[in-house]
Structure formats: structure tokens, C-alpha cells
């Protein structure tokens, strides 16, 4: 969005007009606008917000900006913002803040809330506990629909989601769920227990967010209950947070496929030293592994000295092998991530990859043969060596690319590490061995 | 899920028990179970479903299975399923079916519905029109909250989502939205227009699904209205369909990054010829581009003949360059997809990539120097040639990897095509030029 007009109002200190203009914007847009300002103007703009939306806007700000604002506003303002934040947004914010800000905030809340916050901060990253919110509507099964709607009217305004209500017993154990739709459609005198659903799908506080996202995707839920080890309802997870989880998990897979150690920090916010650290590990491992290809070439130095022309085709053979392998590995990695494929499908994968690689290999080899033999005029034995190597490399690359991610999954590794870079390194070495051993035989080179 | 026990009941024809057991399952699980059976048993199991859930289960089946069932059940059954399907599920189903099945179904609906279906089938794939459903609740602004809730009670049962209601005027133009939460919380005599929100964010029927998903992510919506060119409300899009869109767009990016032409068909369902076609195009383009590297090597044949040892380091240099470039390109591609980066950030990206590449390049070069000079005992001039090439290649690769996706975006191409494979091909050629021109100078080779 372009906020030029509002920025001008701010620069000209025309605050009354600015306030009016901001009122027309949606909350996430106001946050985007404040994120774009420098610190001083950001504080001014934030203070101009109507009280009732300030906390909501705050929850959409970048964590950097949240930090600045919470350090620069006075204690009273900070407490007001904190009180108006939804509990999960509060935890998200505190997780990102340095210890002194967290301390300052915890000093200003009741002991009960302090304990609750500390409890939530202890849930591992990526667990249901760290995703959930405590603002849900809980009902009792003895209530009538009229009572239930009455309770929703009373407490609903402060609840993040009221479209699913949770029915709990005296020990706060989850007994069932009932949707607001069902409550509205039911007649007022019916009991909640008569319309509630009892076979509820729930997750535990320590469940992994990726598995939870899979459940949301499968069942199309808007929210899901979270229970502790005693089966007590402790929170709910809502679909908007799951959408973020899905994107985060996808980002991790993209990073692993590109041989980067996963990180949740946005590119523009990350500093170069941190980026370099996340990238150098795999580059180093792969660089050292690539020396195997070097040894193979040195082993066949005599062959190269005899027919130097062979060298010219090394890049093409290595690249094509690497690309053919990545295609298969990324396809399998993605299918595994989407739950479309399991380890037990390995024979189907091998069969499919063999068929595909034969088709693709034949196509590439034909074009390559025509180019090398007819267009570039190499002799038949060299052309044959290169063509055969190309075909065998493609078949091997697709076999390895298709099976390694499945094997990784089987032994509990992330399949995404078996992607392009690692596959390329393996395929390189193998394609060189194929190349030179064929060359030695076909060209009758005495090694 | 393991459905062994139910499969046994089916095999033993213990249909009464089977029915009981199925009732305990969630709809998507029943669909998964039926998808796993062979055709004959699938039809039997589908016919055993209680009438009220049959259509719902049907909408979750794979399109292959949907096709089989709709060909094998009789006309009356098919009409019943169709009548019970939500409109968007019906369109999704019809889009996947061969012409004869579509004809058979259209023969059995009213003319009005036939026209509507034909209209919807014409919306382009990936447009708002092809995603939306028509089962929404529309209200008038003159209604009281009591009237509105009354209307929801009357029609709500057949509506896919009732948590946002849409207020339209006499010409069906969208005037505002009001959530069920607001209706429940408001007092019964208040007019809808007094509680509705008028600055509604909506999309047009021809808007692209990727842009729509971005809006959902930004604002955290559960549903969004779709209007036609005359601003009339024609449908709504719900978050569950958007989650599918997000995964589909991510899959496309994974495919592009791996040099595969995008396809929506699941891996296990795709036939080898189709897979080969989607893969061979880029492999062919990249194979032919890789011949540039071949020409460079041939151009420096004299250098290789003079110092054959140089060949041994070609794979390591090419691979490291390719990997360093992919890291940068995939990072930028992902940040663009998440909206964290825009073209105007290009200078920040260049600055960051240069800093990171210098850090990473130095680290790799040091390790490499030690290995080649001290451990493998190559002489200093060869070690220097390789080390300098490595450093320059990493810097160049990260520069190209960081900027090409941004340039692609700028000229309207998908940034994801500027990923690993293309970057690798470019970096290969450049690294060879750097390598040999340094070698010629440092090793005093007369070319």
C-alpha cells in the first residue's frame, strides 16, 4: 500500500486530519503504515490511535517496532496496551522481547496472570502450547441454549473466536463442542448436551505445530481445542495462526532444499553475520564432499590426457544429472509434506521414476546425439560415450532423487535435506565414474 | 489412519457393524477409507453411508473415485448426491469430470441451475470465480437484528458459512457485512445498518487466487465477498479453500525451483508420460545452455593440457558456486512470495548479499586453501588460482542469485524460475571463465 498522503499529514503535523484518515484504514494497514515510519514518527502515530484499536494495531506491528514502542511509552500506556491484547498475541510479543522489557511488563500484572504468562512462555516453540490462546467460550452441558447464548453475549466481546464453544465438566475436562451456528439454529429451551458433538478432535499442549496444521487442513476446522496431560481444556488454536504455521513450515522446506539452515527471521531484518552462519555450514559440507569428484577425475587423469575433449562435456553431464535428480527429490519431498506419499509407496516411486527417467533420458540423449555428432562433428565413439553417460546419469539421478527423501523420512530425518544440493553432489561423483569408465572402454584408453 | 478393522468388516460383509463403525468416524476419514478401497468395495461402502452424510463424504473423495462412483450409481442416487453438495464442491467436481458425466448431471437439473453451473464452469482456473461458493447469508440493512437472526435460523442450515452475513441492496450490490457474533451480541431491536461494517474488503470474480490468499493472510479473514463487474455480490470465498490455494501456490513454487513445469495432479495419480513431459522441457533448455560451459573449456583446452590437475577442481568450484547462488535465489524468491520484499529493496539485497558472500567466501576459501596447499600438497600458484576463483565465484553467485529473482518479478515473470537450476547454469559458465583466466595469468600459461 502507498501511504504517501498520510505520511504528508504526519509530516505537516495535521493530526486531526491524520486521525480521521487513519480511522478509514483496516487494522493491518495501520500497522503496515506505522512499521514504515522512523521511530520518532512511529511513536507519534501510535499515540494518535483511538484507544480501542491501539492494542489491536500493536499486535500486527513488527517485533522490532513493538520493542521500540514498549520501551518508549510510559508505564501506564504500556499496561493499557497489554491489558487489551489477546493472550496469544501477548505471549508472541513477550517471546520476542529482551529480558528487561519482559520484566517491566511482568512487574505490572497480577500474580495470577504473571504465573500464567510464565507458564505459557515455557512451552516449546512450535508446540500447541505456544500457539494457543485462552480466550475461548466455555459452556456447561446442563445449560439451555438460551443460557449459552446469554453467556456468549456477556463474555463474547473479549473472546477471540466465539464460533465454536467448548463444553467442559467441573474439572474443566473437555466434554464436547457446539458451534454458534448450532446454538442460533436450535430452539432456546434445548439443553447444550443435546446438540453438542462429543467425538471432538483435540491436540495436546506439546503436540508439534506441523502435525496440528495437517489436522486443520484435513478437516477444514476454524479452531481446535488444546488439552493438558490431565485432559483439561487449556486453550484453543485458531485457523489464522495455522495459516502462519503453514507458511513457516513451507519456508523451512524451501530453506532446507536450498541448503540453508532454517531460521524464522525475515530476510531484511536478519543481519549478514547471522545469514552467513546459516548458509556456510552446508556449503562447507558440500564443498568438502565435492572433492570426491576431484579424486575421481584425478584417478582418470590419463584418460583426460589422452582425450582432452572429454573435459568439455563434464559441466553438461554434471548439471543435467543434478537437475534431473532435483526434479525427483523435490517432487517426492513435496508429496511427503502434503501427506500424499508415505514410505510404503517406495516401490511405486521407484517404478514411476524409472519409467519417467527412461523417457526423459531418451529424449535428452537423442537431442544430445544430434548436436554432438552431426552439428559439432565429434566422432562416433566420443558421441556414444557421452550419450550413454547422459542416459545412465539421468536414470541414476532420478532413482536416487526419488528414493533418498523417502529413506530419510523412514529414519526420522527431514526429507527436505535430501534435496538438490546433496543429490547433486552424489550424482556428480557417480556420473563421472560412469563417464570415465565408459570412455576407457569405448575409446580403448589404457589407464 | 489405519482402517484395517473396518476393511475386515467389509470383507466379511458384516454391514451392520460396519455402518456403526463408520458413524464414529469424521467425514474426511470416511472419505480416506473409501479412497483406499478397490472400485467394487468403494461402491458398496459408499452405498452403506447414511443419506445425510453421503454428499459430504463424496466432496472429500479423490476425483478419480468421484468419477467412478458417479458412473456406477444409478441416475436417482446421483441426483440426490448432487442436490446435497455445496455449490462450490459441485463445481470442483464437475470441473474434473469427463464431458459425458457432466452431460448426465446437467440433464437432471433445472434450467436455472444448469445456466448457473455453466456460468461458473467458465470462470478461469485460479480465479475468484472458480473458488467461490453461492451459499452465503444475505441480509437487508432495514432488518432488525431479530429479523436477521430469524432469517439465519430459516436458511442457515444449508449455508456453508454463516459467521459473516452480507448486506445487499435491491440490486444485490454489497453494502456492508455483519458477523454472527455482532448479531448475537447486539440487542434484538437494533437495525442491521447500525451494526454493519461498511468499508468492506472484497474481490472481483476474475481476481487471481494468489492475490486473494495474500489478502486473507494479511487481514486474518474467515471469508471474503466476491462481486461482479457491476459490484453485485455473487459469492463468497472461505478460509478452508484459501488454505488449499496457499499449499497449491507453494507446490508451484517448489516445482519451478526444481525446474519442473507446474501441475496440480498428485504425484501418485500422475502417469509417467505426463510427468516426463513436465520435466523434460527445462532439462532440455538447461542441457543446451550448459554447452556454453563446454565451449569455455574447449577455448582453454591448451591451459588444461598444460596443467591437467586444474580439471580435478572443476566439480568443486561449479557445485559450490551453484549452491551459494541457490541459497540467495531461494531466499529472495521466498521473501517475495511472502510479501516481505519488493523490487525497490534491490539495493538492500545487493548490499546484504555482498556482505554475506564475502563472509561465506572467506570461510570457504580458508578451509579450501588449507586442504589443497597443506593437506594435498599442490603448489602455491595452483592453490592461489583455485582459492581466488572460489571466492570470486561465491560473491558472483550470491549477487546473481539475489538480484535475478527481483528483476524477473519486475518484468512480470515468476521469480521462482530464477532458482537453482538457471542460476547454476549461469554461475557454472562464469566460474569457469574466472578459473581459466586466473589460471592463465597466475600459472603463466601461453594460450
Grid cell, residue A370, equals: 544430434
Q: Does the interface predicted TM-score (ipTM) exceed 0.90?
A: no
Segment among A130-134, A180-184, A324-328, B419-423 with least mean pLDDT: B419-423
Q: Compute the distance between CA of residue B237 and CA of residue B131 in angstroms, rounded to an integer.
A: 6
Per-residue pLDDT averaged across B259-264, rounded? Answer: 85
Q: Compute the distance between CA of residue A147 and CA of residue B125 in angstroms, rounded to an integer.
A: 46
CB-nearest to B330 from A152, A257, A432 is: A257
Asked whether residue A194 carries a pLDDT value surpassing 90, the answer given is yes
Segment among A311-325, A359-373, A408-422, B341-355 with least mean pLDDT: A408-422
- Among A56-70, A287-301, B61-75, B390-404, the range with the most confident prediction by mean pLDDT is B390-404
Residue (of A170, A276, A23, A295) closest to B395 by Cα position: A276
Angstrom CA distances, A157 to A152, A160, B104, stand at 8, 8, 50
- CATH number for A4-122: choose from 1.10.357.10, 1.10.10.10, 1.25.60.10, 1.20.140.150: 1.25.60.10
CB-nearest to A315 from B184, B290, B312 is: B290
Asked whether residue A160 carries a pLDDT value surpassing 70, the answer given is no
Distance from CA of B112 to the nearest CA of A (A): 29
3-state secondary structure of A127: strand
Distance from CA of A239 to the nearest CA of B (A): 8
- CATH number for B138-238: choose from 3.10.580.10, 1.50.10.10, 1.20.1640.10, 3.40.50.740: 3.10.580.10
CB contact under 8 A, A315 and B293: yes
Distance from CA of A8 to the nearest CA of B (A): 21
Grid cell, residue B377, equals: 600438497
Task: List A125's β-bridge partners, or say none.
Answer: none
pLDDT tens-digit readout, B315-366: 999 989 999 999 999 999 999 998 889 999 999 999 999 999 999 999 999 9
Specify the residue for cell string 570461510. B363
Specify the residue for cell string 452431460. B103
Tell me which chain A residues have a C-beta less than 8 angstroms from the C-beta of B295.
Answer: 312
Judge whether A41 and A71 are in contact, CB under 8 Å.
no
CB-nearest to B316 from A149, A253, A294 is: A294
Angstrom CA distances, B132 to A218, B173, B206, B224, B423, stand at 19, 17, 11, 9, 38
Mutate to test the interface with B, among A154, A261, A294, A309 (most CBs of B within 10 A): A294
CB contact under 8 A, A283 and B322: no
User: Three-state SS string across A325-350, please?
Assistant: HHHHHHHHHHHHHCCCCCHHHHHHHH
pLDDT tens-digit readout, B18-29: 888 888 888 999
Q: Compute the distance between CA of residue B293 and CA of residue B299 in angstroms, rounded to an integer.
A: 10
The pLDDT of residue B247: 92
Q: Kindly give the interhelix angle for B314-337 and A314-337, rounded to the nearest 10 degrees.
A: 40
Sheet strand arrangement including B164-168: B138-139, B164-168, B174-179
The pLDDT of residue A331: 93
Dihedral angle computed from the Cα positions of residues B245, B247, B251 and B257, in that order, rounded to the nearest 10 degrees: 100
Tell me which chain A residues have a C-beta less than 8 angstroms from the C-beta of B335.
Answer: 266-268
Asked whether residue B260 carries a pLDDT value surpassing 90, the answer given is no
Asked whether residue B1 carries a pLDDT value surpassing 70, the answer given is no
Per-residue pLDDT averaged across B228-243, rounded? Answer: 92
Asked whether residue A446 carries a pLDDT value surpassing 80, the answer given is no
Residue (of A199, A223, A196) closest to A141 by Cα position: A196
Angstrom CA distances, A236 to A62, A124, A128, A134, stand at 24, 16, 9, 6
Judge whether B338 and B415 are in contact, CB under 8 Å.
no
Asked whether residue A183 carries a pLDDT value surpassing 80, the answer given is yes
Judge whether A245 and A212 are in contact, CB under 8 Å.
yes
Angle at A365 between CA B417 and CA A300, to 5 degrees: 100
Length of chain A: 447
Residue in A with minimal Cα distance to B318: A315
B401 or A306, greater pLDDT: B401
The pLDDT of residue A1: 61
Q: Is the dihedral of CA B413, B414, B415, B416 positive or negative?
A: negative
Q: Compute the distance between CA of residue A295 and CA of residue A315 in angstroms, rounded to an integer.
A: 16
Q: Compute the distance between CA of residue A402 and CA of residue A411 in angstroms, rounded to an integer.
A: 16
Asked whether residue A172 carries a pLDDT value surpassing 70, the answer given is yes
| Displacement of CA B445 from its chain's centroid (Å) | 52
Distance from CA of A13 to the nearest CA of B (A): 26
A307 or B447, greater pLDDT: A307
Q: Compute the distance between CA of residue B339 and CA of residue B362 in angstroms, rounded to an integer.
A: 32
DSSP state of B445: -
The pLDDT of residue B119: 86
User: Three-state SS string across A136-198, please?
Assistant: CCEECCCCEHHHHHHHHHHHHHHCCCCCEEEEECCCCEEEEEEEHHHHHHCCCCCEHHHHCEC
Per-residue pLDDT averaged across B392-398, rounded? Answer: 96
Residue in B with minimal Cα distance to A183: B153
Mutate to test the interface with B, among A221, A267, A301 (most CBs of B within 10 A): A267
Cα Dmax for chain B: 95
3-state secondary structure of B140: coil
Judge whether A311 and B297 are in contact, CB under 8 Å.
yes
Asked whether residue A5 carries a pLDDT value surpassing 70, the answer given is yes
Residue in B with minimal Cα distance to A303: B308
CB-based burial label for B16 (10 Å; 0-12, 13-18, 19+): exposed
Percent of chain B with pLDDT strictly greater than 70: 99
Residue in A with minimal Cα distance to B335: A267
Per-residue pLDDT averaged across A410-426, rounded? Answer: 86
Asked whether residue A356 carries a pLDDT value surpassing 70, the answer given is yes
CB contact under 8 A, B425 and A319: yes
Q: Per-residue confidence at A309, pLDDT binned at 50, 70, 90?
A: confident
Query: In A4-32, which positions are buried (b, 16+ CB within 10 angstroms) versus exposed (e)?
Result: eebbebbeeeeeeebeebbeebebbbbbb
pLDDT tens-digit readout, B175-227: 999 998 889 889 899 999 999 999 899 999 999 999 999 999 988 888 999 99
Residue extent(s) of CATH 3.10.580.10 domains in chain A:
138-240
3-state secondary structure of A281: helix
Average pLDDT, chain B: 89
CB contact under 8 A, A360 and B216: no
A417 or B137, greater pLDDT: B137
Distance from CA of B38 to the nearest CA of A (A): 17
CB contact under 8 A, B273 and A359: yes
Superfamily name and number for A138-240: CBS-domain (3.10.580.10)
Tell me which chain A residues have a C-beta less than 8 angstroms from the C-beta of B267.
Answer: 331-332, 335, 340-341, 352
Asked whether residue B447 carries a pLDDT value surpassing 80, the answer given is no
Q: Give CATH for domain B290-442.
A: 1.10.357.20
Mutate to test the interface with A, among B159, B275, B363 (most CBs of A within 10 A): B275
- Among A68-82, B100-114, B381-395, the range with the most confident prediction by mean pLDDT is B381-395
Residue (of B21, B105, B1, B97) closest to A342 by Cα position: B1
CB contact under 8 A, B312 and A298: yes
The pLDDT of residue A143: 95
Judge whether A300 and A436 are in contact, CB under 8 Å.
yes
CB contact under 8 A, A255 and B181: no
End-to-end CA gap in chain B: 67
CB-nearest to B315 from A253, A290, A340 is: A290
Number of alpha carbons in the 13 Å side-chain half-sphere of residue A294: 20
- Among A79-88, A347-356, B146-155, B274-283, the range with the most confident prediction by mean pLDDT is A347-356
Q: Compute the distance between CA of residue B75 and CA of residue B53 in angstroms, rounded to an integer.
A: 19
Tell me which chain B residues have a C-beta less than 8 angstroms from the C-beta of A290.
Answer: 315-316, 319-320
Cα-atom radius of gyration of chain A, to the nearest Å? Answer: 30
Q: Compute the distance between CA of residue B365 and CA of residue A39 in angstroms, rounded to an integer.
A: 40
Q: Which long-range contacts (CB under 8 A, 24 or more apart) does A110-117 make?
A: A117/A90, A117/A91
Average pLDDT, chain A: 89
Length of chain B: 447
Residue extent(s) of CATH 1.10.357.20 domains in chain A:
290-442
CB-based burial label for B220 (10 Å; 0-12, 13-18, 19+): middle
CB contact under 8 A, B255 and A309: no
Amino acid at each position: 500500500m502507498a501511504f504517501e498522503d498520510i505520511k504528508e499529514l504526519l509530516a505537516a503535523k495535521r493530526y486531526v486530519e491524520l486521525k480521521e484518515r487513519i480511522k478509514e484504514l483496516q487494522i493491518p494497514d495501520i500497522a503496515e503504515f506505522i512499521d514504515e515510519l522512523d521511530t520518532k514518527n512511529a511513536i507519534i502515530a501510535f499515540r494518535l490511535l483511538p484507544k480501542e484499536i491501539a492494542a489491536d494495531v500493536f499486535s500486527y506491528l513488527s517485533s522490532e517496532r513493538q520493542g521500540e514502542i514498549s520501551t518508549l511509552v510510559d508505564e501506564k500506556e504500556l499496561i493499557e496496551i497489554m491489558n487489551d491484547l489477546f493472550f496469544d498475541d501477548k505471549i508472541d510479543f513477550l517471546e520476542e522481547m529482551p529480558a528487561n522489557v519482559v520484566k517491566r511488563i511482568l512487574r505490572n500484572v497480577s500474580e495470577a496472570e504473571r504465573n500464567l504468562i510464565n507458564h505459557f512462555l515455557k512451552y516449546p516453540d512450535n508446540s500447541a502450547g505456544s500457539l494457543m490462546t485462552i480466550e475461548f467460550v466455555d459452556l456447561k452441558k446442563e445449560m439451555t441454549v438460551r443460557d449459552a447464548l446469554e453467556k456468549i453475549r456477556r463474555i463474547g466481546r473479549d473472546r477471540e473466536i466465539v464460533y465454536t464453544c467448548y463444553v467442559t465438566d467441573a474439572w474443566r475436562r473437555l466434554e464436547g463442542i457446539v458451534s454458534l451456528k448450532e446454538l442460533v439454529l436450535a430452539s432456546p429451551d434445548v439443553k447444550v448436551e443435546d446438540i453438542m458433538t462429543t467425538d471432538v478432535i483435540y491436540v495436546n499442549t506439546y503436540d508439534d505445530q506441523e502435525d496440528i496444521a495437517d489436522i486443520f487442513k484435513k478437516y477444514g476446522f476454524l479452531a481446535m481445542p488444546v488439552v493438558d496431560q490431565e485432559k483439561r481444556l487449556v486453550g484453543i488454536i485458531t485457523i489464522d495462526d495455522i495459516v502462519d504455521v503453514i507458511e513457516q513450515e513451507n519456508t523451512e522446506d524451501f530453506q532446507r532444499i536450498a541448503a540453508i539452515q532454517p531460521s524464522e527471521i525475515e530476510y531484511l531484518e536478519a543481519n549478514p553475520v547471522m545469514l552467513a552462519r546459516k548458509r556456510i555450514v552446508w556449503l562447507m559440507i558440500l564443498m568438502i564432499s565435492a572433492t570426491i569428484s576431484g579424486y575421481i577425475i584425478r584417478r582418470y587423469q590419463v584418460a583426460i590426457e589422452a582425450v582432452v575433449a572429454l573435459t568439455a562435456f563434464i559441466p553438461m553431464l554434471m548439471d543435467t544429472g543434478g537437475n534431473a535428480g532435483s526434479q525427483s527429490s523435490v517432487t517426492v519431498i513435496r508429496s511427503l509434506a502434503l501427506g500424499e506419499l508415505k514410505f510404503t509407496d517406495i516401490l511405486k516411486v521407484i517404478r514411476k521414476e524409472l519409467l519417467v527417467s527412461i523417457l526423459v533420458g531418451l529424449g535428452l540423449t537423442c537431442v544430445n546425439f544430434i548436436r554432438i555428432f552431426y552439428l559439432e562433428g565429434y566422432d562416433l565413439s566420443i558421441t556414444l560415450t557421452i550419450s550413454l553417460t547422459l542416459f545412465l546419469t539421468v536414470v541414476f539421478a532420478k532413482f536416487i532423487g526419488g528414493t533418498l527423501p523417502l529413506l530419510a523420512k523412514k529414519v526420522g530425518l527431514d526429507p527436505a535435506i535430501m534435496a538438490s544440493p546433496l543429490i547433486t553432489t552424489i550424482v556428480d561423483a557417480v556420473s563421472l565414474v560412469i563417464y570415465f569408465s565408459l570412455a576407457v572402454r569405448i575409446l580403448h584408453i589404457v589407464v
